[in-house]
Structure 1
Amino acid sequence: MPKKVLLIGLRSDSVNYEKWPQLSKEKLDVAFEQVVSELNNNGYDSLWCLTDQGETAVQQVEEALAKEKPDIVLIGAGVRTDPDHFLLFEQVINIVHAKAPDAKIAFNSLPYDSLDAIKRWG
């Protein structure tokens, strides 16, 4: 049975591209699709949970964790490394800890290295 992977990131319309000049909304949307395709082609059952910057993010993550019951949760760099999302990152970590305590947690640096991050844990 393939390992289930839940990828948590910001929706492409929630990203401040001034902080990520190598990305654009279009590039990020394509990258999201490529990540899922790449993971699925490598034997994982993967799905994105793309959130806003906090208004409903906690609820979205909780619902995705309850529905998907992932083996691995990847928290994207947009949530994790932007100081403006510090509280969101903290909330996401605590939600994952509470709702999926057996899941491994992985981190990418950009969408393009998500497979490497997942392979480190499964």
Structure 2
Amino acid sequence: MYSQNYIHFYHLTECGIGKAKIPEPSLRTEPIVRAISESSLPFLKMEKAMTEVSVLMVGLQPDLIDFSDPAYAAFPGMTAEKVMAGLNADQARLTALGYHASLCLVDFGETAERVLHERLGEKPVDCVMLGAGLRLIAKNTALFEKLLAVVHRTSPNATICFNTGPTDSAEAVGRWFPPPQRA
């Protein structure tokens, strides 16, 4: 089994986000080989895709959102019930595809950082999906930045992805981790 560091390294370099160096052998978390060539990196991604990928879906508590607020005008007709139904359906879809998906719903800042930190501290996750309501609504930018920092500090090896609404989380996760193969 390969460490998440190698998987994360591959995802960063595959997407052109950075050209990180492979850690020195003494810094590796698992002594798998002394050197990894560029041609062997696709195997690492495939290895991770064949195991269960844990996904934490982070979003705002739908019942706290004021959908009449002009900031949410880009989502006409949206209600807390529709958002929650979309999130539950997305979680079920991810599970059906073979991911281990769970929800982490936060408030607008009173306890959001603490709730996410505690949730990420329960067990390691492979992927953190930050919802559109956090990212696309301008007045939520500071909260989005704080939650992103919590993910970075608490789960530095987790891949971060973004959906565009409460119904396309599987596509967001799938960009980084192909759906696992069910036995």
| TM bucket, shorter chain | over 0.9
SS in 1 for 2:168: helix
The equivalent position to 2:134 in structure 1, one of 46, 69, 79, is 79
Is contact 1:6–1:68 with CA below 8 Å preserved after alignment? no
- Paired residue for 1:2? 52
Shift of 1:68: 3.3
- Paired residue for 2:102? 47
> TM-score of the superposition, structure 2-length normalised?
0.64
Alpha-carbon deviations, 1:16-65, whole Å to 9, x = none? 31313241111111112101100000000010100111110000100111
1:13 equivalenced with 2:63 (yes/no): yes
Q: Which has the larger radius of gyration?
A: 2
> TM-score of the superposition, structure 1-length normalised?
0.95
Is contact 1:62–1:95 with CA below 8 Å preserved after alignment? yes
Query: Matches of 2:79 and 2:91 in 1, distance apart?
Result: 18
**Where do 1:1-122 residues align within 5 Å?**
1-18=51-68, 19=72, 20-122=75-177
Query: Matches of 1:5 and 1:82 in 2, distance apart?
Result: 23
Is contact 1:12–1:25 with CA below 8 Å preserved after alignment? yes
Unaligned runs of 5+ in 2: 1-50, 178-183
Query: Matches of 2:56 and 2:114 in 1, distance apart?
Result: 15
Is contact 1:15–1:78 with CA below 8 Å preserved after alignment? no
Query: Matches of 1:103 and 1:117 in 2, distance apart?
Result: 14
Structure 1 vs Structure 2 CA RMSD: 1.0
| AA partner of residue 77 (structure 1) | A
Structure 1: which 4+ aligned runs deviate by more than 4 Å?
A: none
More relative contact order in 1 or in 2 (CA 8 Å, sep 6+)?
1
SS in 1 for 2:76: coil
Is contact 1:4–1:68 with CA below 8 Å preserved after alignment? no
Aligned length: 122
SS in 2 for 1:8: strand
Shift of 1:92: 0.7
